[in-house]
Each structure stands twice: as C-alpha cells, then as structure tokens.
Amino acid sequence: MIGVSPVGPFRTRHLDTSAASLALWERGGYNRSDVRAFLNATQYALRHPNVALDARITNAYIYRRAGRLRGPMRCSLADRRQGS
C-alpha cells in the first residue's frame, strides 16, 4: 500500500474495474490484481443488506480517532442519571 489515508473510495465510479481504470491505478504504483480484489470486495460489502457506512460529515476521521482515543462512549440514560 502506498501512503496512509482514512478515506477509501467514496463514489461508485471509483469502484470501476475496467481495464482503463485499472491501468490508472497501476500508473499510480498499485498492483493491478490487488486493486481489482480490493474494489470487488468493496463493491460486495456495499451491496450487502447489512451494510454499515462511515460517517458522512466533514472531517469524520477526527470523530473516529477521538472515539479510539477516549474509548467507547457511554450515553445511556441510566449512566446520565448516575453521573457516570
């Protein structure tokens, strides 16, 4: 993998596995078969009836990072009453 990014493909056109699209990925330094496998797996996951999409807000990665740093958020009504 080249670089590190919290953002994956986010438009359906980014999931194109045509020869022309895969050639663009290759020119960017990616392995054609790895890209095809990744894009096919992403398409499969997005079509699943129980899909869970990422937050769709500006700078969503900040919220995900904060959640990992602070641990699970406790937000039940019982917790609020007890002052937790």
pLDDT digits (tens, 9 = 90+) for 19-65: 999 999 999 999 999 999 999 998 998 888 888 776 667 777 777 77
Instruction: Give the orientation angle of helix 19-27 with respect to helix 32-47, to 10 degrees.
Output: 120
- Kindly state the helix (H) or strand (E) to which residue 20 belongs, with its residue range: helix 19-27
Mean pLDDT, range 2-7, rounded to an integer: 52
pLDDT band at 80 (very low <50, low <70, confident <90, very high): very low
Cα-Cα-Cα-Cα dihedral sign, residues 63, 65, 69, 73: positive
State the Cα–Cα distance between residues 13 and 78, nearest whole angstrom: 45
